Amino acid sequence: MPIADHPSTIPIDEVARQRERRNTRLLANPLIENPELTLRDVVDLVRAARDELPYPVDVDQFLADGGHGWRTIEAVKTYLDSEGAAAD
Position 85 pLDDT exceeds 60: no
Position 88 pLDDT exceeds 50: no
> What confidence score (pLDDT) does residue 63 get?
96
List pLDDT tens digits, range 16-74. 888 889 889 989 999 988 999 999 999 999 999 999 999 999 999 999 999 999 999 99
Decide: 46 and 59 in contact? Cβ < 8 Å.
Answer: yes
CA dihedral in degrees (54, 77, 62, 66; nearest 10)?
140
Domain boundaries, the chain: 29-87
How many beta carbons lie within 10 A of that of residue 42, not counting itself? 22
